[in-house]
Structure 1
């Protein structure tokens, strides 16, 4: 991205934030929409299936509670979603945003489900489906990164599917998204998707946001969708599985491949370790996966030689 394009993107987003904040109507949901059912919920609020009464079309309405979401946070998520929704692998966000007494709300297209719904513990998702996801998600990330944005929350729950074979998937949930170069603070908890440089942040430390954060999460997502388990609980030096992985990476000729990685072909190991490089400067881009589509990503092992670590026996840790 050249300097003029970067400035244009930043100015465009700022203008959208300003215009949306000045034109955010207060409405009563029941006067404009018929609520069909709840599609999902989280710490942010909830998503409801609704029908627009004037047009008769169905949509997903995302309700974000005002007591835990400030206006600027809502506007960032809505405007970033709207800016990116022209890409075929990013969720379509409609130009509908409003507020109620307790919520900020915006509308998006409906999906069949999310990638998490297809995951089978200790088995994952069929390789053909994972490869379809990889192609589409790498394209979505590449598009986002070229616009100078970092997603920061790549995980199966944020990959929407439109069929069980993943012939169409779309990236969603831009609540943590920020510009490349933004100063980031530590997160309240570290998940398996969290890159090590974020895990090691102290309370007073800050990290400069970079697209390599998404590359790491993308690699972990591919790992867990192919296997049905995570490689570790978190990328910290107190996690024995992460330490074993970093030792293997530093001295592949000395240390054997960790057990939970033995299910992958040599080519897949090469691809994954490029994405999940402990040093962010050594991580490849998301589009690197396109070079590995014609080779098998998994191998058949006898007697379950690729034993799963106890990390994944803890339900709360394994699937979030």
Structure 2
């Protein structure tokens, strides 16, 4: 770690280890009650890898600074850099990430809870798109929460994000099986609506406890995504409202022209059903 970072913070524990670096929990030396998460990116590892990976990771700090402040996007407080590492000091989201929440139970999340979570996620996505940023890797692991027991949602990890201009298409195969949009899998150019598809997949999983497109291998999952045959099995969707299913059809839509934008998602009647519970 950089000497400047070590001067200002005590590293308490390791939170997560990834392909290009590690996330640590750290405390301010001036006030031990001020706890943060620092994402340490190994520039040597990044530089030895794919050029696109290196470019995306080098842009992450710039992109998050562009998006801050927003109540549903993780806050970047400071950037430290030395010869070998880039250290991004983020707010600490100390509740379990969304992936853990989905994995904890075998049943679906109640619609009222799903509505509250999805509203916050789409507010973050809409903010990104208004400022010309496509996240490109929306998945449960990148949805964090502050506080305990359903605190405020924070969209995180902009390492795959891309800045775009209005009407401009994006290139690059990035994303995660289950959540990636079919136009990305097909290797075509695409726009920011890939984030709406991924968010729709998350909503489907919240309401049913299952992914909309599944397979035994990544290849089978990608083939199912490309087919895009959206179904609502009765055993999982019997008690799900028709408004929720209508929204899913408009988010998980192969035809990009017909797929909702993030703003259109937020205006869908489904959210008004639970308006008093999602504020």
In which range does the TM-score fall when normalised by the shorter chain?
A: 0.7 to 0.9
Matched, 1:221 2:198: no
1:78 matches 2:56: no
After superposition, give the CA deviation of every residue in 1:130-172 in whole Å (9 maximum; x if it has no partner).
2111111111111111111111111111111124543411111
Change (3 A) 1:238 1:171: closer
Per the alignment, residue 237 of structure 2 pairs with 262
- Corresponding pairs, count: 256
CA contact (8 A) 2:93 2:144 kept: yes
Point out the more displaced range, 157-166 or 32-41: 157-166
Mapped to 1, the partners of 2:203 and 2:249 lie a distance apart of 11
Structure 1 segments (4+ residues) deviating >6 Å: 234-238
Bigger relative CO (Cα 8 Å, ≥ 6 apart): 2
Runs (5+) with no aligned partner, structure 1? 1-24, 249-256, 297-320
Deviations 1:19-54 (A, max 9, x none): xxxxxx953643332111112222231110111224
Q: Is 1:99 matched with 2:81?
A: yes
Q: Secondary structure at the match of 1:108?
A: strand
Give, in angstroms, the shift of residue 103 of structure 1. 2.1
Counterpart contact for 2:207–2:237, Cα < 8 Å: no
Contact residue 29 and residue 100 of structure 1 kept, 8 A: no
**If you compute each CA radius of gyration, which structure gives the higher value, 1 or 2?**
1
- RMSD, aligned α-carbons: 2.9
Q: TM-score, normalised by structure 1?
A: 0.71
Q: TM-score, normalised by structure 2?
A: 0.80
Of 266, 270, 277, 1:292 maps to 270
1:244-291: CA deviations, max 9, x gaps? 725x7xxxxxxxx54576343221111101000011111112232442
Following the alignment from structure 2 to structure 1, what is the Cα–Cα distance between the partners of residues 8 and 70? 29
Q: Measured at CA, do residues 278 and 235 of structure 1 come closer, stay the same or move farther in structure 2, by a change above 3 Å?
A: farther
**In the aligned structure 1, how far is the partner of 2:123 from the partner of 2:224?**
33
Q: What is the aligned partner in structure 2 of residue 177 from structure 1?
A: 161
